[in-house]
């Protein structure tokens, strides 16, 4: 079992990481409402079209190599500087490719204005090369408080810039400049408060060793990203920018929940489990706790979001965005499943099984692609419906190596997931009828939230759900120790 020092570091890390994600996403949530009211769905769709290619290029910069710095137990300044210069070189190369390919991207979508937008937006790739190593250093030393400050400052200041430009009529450029300024401000803030700075040293031997592990993570992430973004690529090419914007918005709000939790799990549990990669029973224990607690929390919030999606979108974004409601409800179920898959993959990476992760991605993704292509003739909603089907298949496959290496079987995992699933189902049955009350959207949402929280806590106490008591105890212990230190 994890000792008290491990537990305190993990709880502290999770708390600060969640605080960072929640503050960032909270501000982003408010700013996105303002921007969505000022801009049209088609303008969001244009940025989404470019972002597909930016995401592909960014995989080569941020995926794999930063993980190798975290996974290596004795990583030093030479390792960090070596990976920095590697990622910087790759970033410059990726920017050059995007600059050259910009006219072809514009031709692909038959939108000439995408050429300049792509070349400007791609500047974020070079910024990412430094930020990637900064984040690896923070995760390695579990000093997530630094990220909390940097993310909060970057999100707030860039949000103000974006909203001001949208109000002044800059349209799609408001979204582009907002994202570029966010990266710049975040990176500069971290530069001023994080001790690590790149040195003028480089080791081919260290690079080769780190890249041997990281290349497998890079390959698996690339395969996963290609599949993840192929839906958007197809929707943008076959349908309209507005359709793509509604698809993205439908995934956006469920993504706020899962991105916060998944990012926390990756940032905190991966280094924590990597520190005990030679103690497999301890890694299994940490993984079980992660799955129990993450499913307990995620299932609640995603179920509540699915139930309240219609009044939420109508109230916040007005009628022009109501087309995203069914997409949001489907994605809520899909993202519930994906969170569990993330925990399994992080455990495999932590014990050095990056080759297993790569094999899983290569095996899963062809089947996923077949489902997506088969759905294209039936419309955007049919494409969205492939997401939960693929998520279930991915979860089944990801559980296999966990059984093999950690002796954590599929049956055990399903038993650990069952309490959260049943609680979420019961809560949904109690809150769904409230949507039909003859009151305004704000009152319906407020009532649904109150009833949902009350039902979840009462049922957790009634059936003595382990995750409820663990989360409650951990938070009490953390804040108690924090008060004593202060």
pLDDT at 15 over 60: no
Name the residue range of residue 458's domain.
Answer: 241-486
Asked if residue 417 belongs to a domain, the reply is yes
Task: Write phi, then psi, for 50 (nearest 5 degrees).
Answer: -70, -40
- Per-residue pLDDT tens digits for 401-456: 888 888 889 999 999 888 889 999 999 998 988 888 888 888 998 999 999 999 99
Asked if residue 120 belongs to a domain, the reply is no
pLDDT score for 307: 92
Asked if residue 179 belongs to a domain, the reply is no
Asked if residue 57 belongs to a domain, the reply is no
Reported pTM: 0.69
Distance, in Å, from the CA atom of 275 to the CA atom of 284, rounded to the nearest integer, reads 13
Distance, in Å, from the CA atom of 308 to the CA atom of 320, rounded to the nearest integer, reads 18
pLDDT score for 2: 45
Asked if residue 16 belongs to a domain, the reply is no
- Per-residue pLDDT tens digits for 72-118: 767 788 888 888 888 899 899 999 999 999 999 899 888 888 999 99
Q: How many Cα atoms occupy the beta-carbon half-sphere of 212 within 13 Å?
A: 7
The answer to which of 115-124, 145-154, 317-326, 391-400 has the lowest mean pLDDT is 145-154
pLDDT score for 102: 94
143 vs 299: which has the higher pLDDT: 299
- Per-residue pLDDT tens digits for 323-344: 999 999 999 999 888 878 888 8
Asked if residue 290 belongs to a domain, the reply is yes
Number of domains composing the chain? 1
Asked if residue 245 belongs to a domain, the reply is yes
- Per-residue pLDDT tens digits for 27-50: 767 777 788 778 788 888 888 888
The answer to which of 100-114, 139-153, 225-239 has the lowest mean pLDDT is 139-153
Radius of gyration of the chain (CA): 22
Q: Are 485 and 344 in contact (CB under 8 A)?
A: no
């Amino acid at each position: 079992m994890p000792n008290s020092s491990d537990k305190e570091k993990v709880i502290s890390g999770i708390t600060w990481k969640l605080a960072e994600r929640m503050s960032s996403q909270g501000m982003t949530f408010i700013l996105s409402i303002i921007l969505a009211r000022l801009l049209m769905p088609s303008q969001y769709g244009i940025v989404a079209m470019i972002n597909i290619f930016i995401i592909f290029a960014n995989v080569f910069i941020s995926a794999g190599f930063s993980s190798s710095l975290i996974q290596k137990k004795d990583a030093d300044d030479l390792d960090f500087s070596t990976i920095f210069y590697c990622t910087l070189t790759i970033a410059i190369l990726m920017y050059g490719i995007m600059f050259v390919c910009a006219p072809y991207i514009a031709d692909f979508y038959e939108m000439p204005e995408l050429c300049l937008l792509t070349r400007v937006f791609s500047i974020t790739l070079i910024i990412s090369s430094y930020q990637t190593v900064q984040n690896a250093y923070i995760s390695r030393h579990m000093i997530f408080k630094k990220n909390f400050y940097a993310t909060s400052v970057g999100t707030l200041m860039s949000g103000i810039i974006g909203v001001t430009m949208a109000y002044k009529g800059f349209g799609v450029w408001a979204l582009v400049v907002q994202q570029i300024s966010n990266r710049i401000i975040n990176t500069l803030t971290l530069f001023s408060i994080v001790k690590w700075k790149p040195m003028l040293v480089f080791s081919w031997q260290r690079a080769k060793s780190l890249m041997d592990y990281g290349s497998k993570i890079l390959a698996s992430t690339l395969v996963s990203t290609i599949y993840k973004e192929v839906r958007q690529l197809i929707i943008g090419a076959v349908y309209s920018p507005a359709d793509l914007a509604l698809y993205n918005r439908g995934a956006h709000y469920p993504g706020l929940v899962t991105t916060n939790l998944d990012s926390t799990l990756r940032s905190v549990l991966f280094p924590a489990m990597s520190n005990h990669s030679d103690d497999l029973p301890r890694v299994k224990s940490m993984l079980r706790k992660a799955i129990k607690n993450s499913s307990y929390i995620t299932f609640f919030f995603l179920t509540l979001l699915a139930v309240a999606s219609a009044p939420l979108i109508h109230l916040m974004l007005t009628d022009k965005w109501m087309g995203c409601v069914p997409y949001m409800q489907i994605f809520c179920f899909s993202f519930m499943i994906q969170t569990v898959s993330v925990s399994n993959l992080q455990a495999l990476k932590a014990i050095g099984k990056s080759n297993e992760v790569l094999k899983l991605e290569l095996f899963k993704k062809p089947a996923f692609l077949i489902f997506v292509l088969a759905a294209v003739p039936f419309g955007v909603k049919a494409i969205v419906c492939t997401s939960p089907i693929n998520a279930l298949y991915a979860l089944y496959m990801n559980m296999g190596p966990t059984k093999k290496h950690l002796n954590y079987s599929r049956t055990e995992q399903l038993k650990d997931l069952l309490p959260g699933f049943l609680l979420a189902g019961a809560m949904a049955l109690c809150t769904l009828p409230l949507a039909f009350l003859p009151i305004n959207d704000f009152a319906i949402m407020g009532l649904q939230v109150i009833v949902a929280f009350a039902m979840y806590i009462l049922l957790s106490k009634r059936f003595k759900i382990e995750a409820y008591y663990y989360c409650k105890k951990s938070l009490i212990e953390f804040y108690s120790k924090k008060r004593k230190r202060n």
